[in-house]
Structure 1
Amino acid sequence: MNKPAIFFVAVMLLFAGVLVLFKVGHWIDAADPNHQSEENEIVDFVPEIKPADYELGEDEPWITDFQLVDQTGGEFESKALRDKVWVASFFFASCPSTCVQQNQEMQSLHKVWARKGVKFISISCDADNDTPAVLNSYAKKFTSDNENWKFLTGNSQYINRIGSDKFLLSVGPQTHAESFCAVDKWGNVRGAFNWHDVEAMEELNKLLVALLLEEEEPVDVVADRERLEKQIAEFVKQQQTDTVTEPSRDE
């Protein structure tokens, strides 16, 4: 083969190699749920839902499913996570240290588990200050994945009730448990894990594996849920009875 032909073949091979690298990079980016190109980044923030429209939960004597607003200003419903495994936590954006460390720990979980289908939600316990716009800016410190990791806000009292009713955690203004709660595909809270505790985090990772593999709601979990539903029904009935028997102020 003469020199011009050799040079031509070499150039073509080089071009083919660059093309392959470009394609592989494109495939990796497309498969990575955390990847977001610059052209897809949120530049302007226009919230869809205003504080006046926040869910108050006044008609719900006990909160099992809830509705909040995410960092994009869109409506979030926990019912949408049915058939999904998810991890929930409470925080507030102005917390200078602990909440940052907590969300860095959540970030580590997200990097491993989001691509396996696990969803993440971080609920603000300083909802009066943590507007969707504030959370939009705050979330960017940890992720560009607005689909799989939601930073949520809403009515403060409603969020306090979400903590106590749904997750059995104490939540108040800028006050929250330092726990990650694992929720199964049927909406059952299956465990709360202190993110400071290395062994607890190992247990959380093991539980996430088990929850992803579950195809049916475990019998013991069904029994626990039915027992809780019965207790809630009795609680609601008692509340209704107390309301009926309560004397009016005019008497």
Structure 2
Amino acid sequence: MRTTVNIVLILIAAVIVGLGIRTFKSIASRARSNEQIEIFSNDVSPMDFVEEDSVTENAIPSRPPEDEAWLSRFELVERSGEKISSEALLGQPYIVSFFYSTCPSICVRQNQKLKELQDEFLGQGVHFVAISVDPETDTPKILREYAARFGADEKQWLFMTGDLNYIRRIGAEIYRLPVDKQFHSERFVLVDTKGQIEGFYTWPEKPQFEKLKETIRQMIQFSERKDS
């Protein structure tokens, strides 16, 4: 009888250990998956982000596949109330980003980075296109107030809004970025003078941000030489 009880106890202990190992593996797997996600929402605390620019081993911006067919047209409402199409941006490079005005953390830092770029390239041949992923909230009036917080130049730094489903398509089909209501990627998309994607730059990574500046300078210089 005692032997039977011991065997039962051993089997129960083995089951408990097995369940513990399975739970640990599941948690670790989810943690690894979460590390690869670059989508941010209003549920994230500002304390979850490092305030300083990060320096990682991945200093090279990614590029779109050369054999991929990319859409290149959209029309949205700017904070001025005027409709602006992507065709109107051709001839100069521009940077596309996605944000929303009530975001308390990542969007603020992201637009501070755009402010830095605007200050460096003020009045030069480059535009900044910030597209809201909460257009129900971000009316032209709200966007005007939001843009004023960053001293956004009305001609060079555009704040765009429109239908959410349409903005989802712009993000996914034109710029290959995940976009949904109050969700966006932590990347800037640099578009060349012909409306083609030059690269995707993760702005918190300092080497990529500096590379973005360098590439903008080169594009502006090339455009100026071509026009002269």
Q: Could you tell me the TM-score, scaled by structure 1's length?
A: 0.59
Q: Deviations over 1:5-43 (max 9, x none)?
A: xxxxxxxxxxxxxxxxxxxxxxxxxxxxxxxxxxxxxxx
| Equivalent residue number for residue 208 of structure 2 | 200
Aligned residues: 155
Q: Which has the higher contact order (CA 8 A, sep 6+)?
A: 2
| Equivalent residue number for residue 156 of structure 1 | 164
Residue 213 of structure 1, CA deviation: 3.0
Matches of 1:213 and 1:104, distance apart in 2? 25
| TM superposition outliers: structure 1 runs of 4+ over 2 Å | none
Matches of 2:193 and 2:105, distance apart in 1? 32
Residue 143 of structure 1, CA deviation: 1.7
Residue 83 of structure 1, CA deviation: 0.6
Q: Deviations over 1:151-207 (max 9, x none)?
A: 100000100110111111111110000111111100011011111100110111111
| Equivalent residue number for residue 176 of structure 2 | 168
Matches of 1:115 and 1:72, distance apart in 2? 19
Q: Deviations over 1:25-67 (max 9, x none)?
A: xxxxxxxxxxxxxxxxxxxxxxxxxxxxxxxxxxxxx842100
Q: Deviations over 1:65-120 (max 9, x none)?
A: 10000111111111011111111100000001110111001000011113221111
Matches of 2:98 and 2:170, distance apart in 1? 10
Contact 2:134 2:182 (C-alpha < 8 Å) held by counterparts: yes
Task: Name the aligned partner's letter for residue 90 of structure 1.
Answer: F
1:71-150 counterparts in 2 under 5 A? 71-150=79-158
Query: Identity, % of aligned pairs?
Result: 36
Matches of 1:118 and 1:173, distance apart in 2? 28
Contact 1:63 1:161 (C-alpha < 8 Å) held by counterparts: no
- 1:151 aligned counterpart, secondary structure: strand
Matches of 2:121 and 2:96, distance apart in 1? 13
Contact 2:123 2:156 (C-alpha < 8 Å) held by counterparts: no
Matches of 2:109 and 2:183, distance apart in 1? 16
Matches of 1:90 and 1:74, distance apart in 2? 19
Gaps of 5+ in 2: 1-69, 224-228
| Equivalent residue number for residue 185 of structure 1 | 193
Gaps of 5+ in 1: 1-61, 216-251
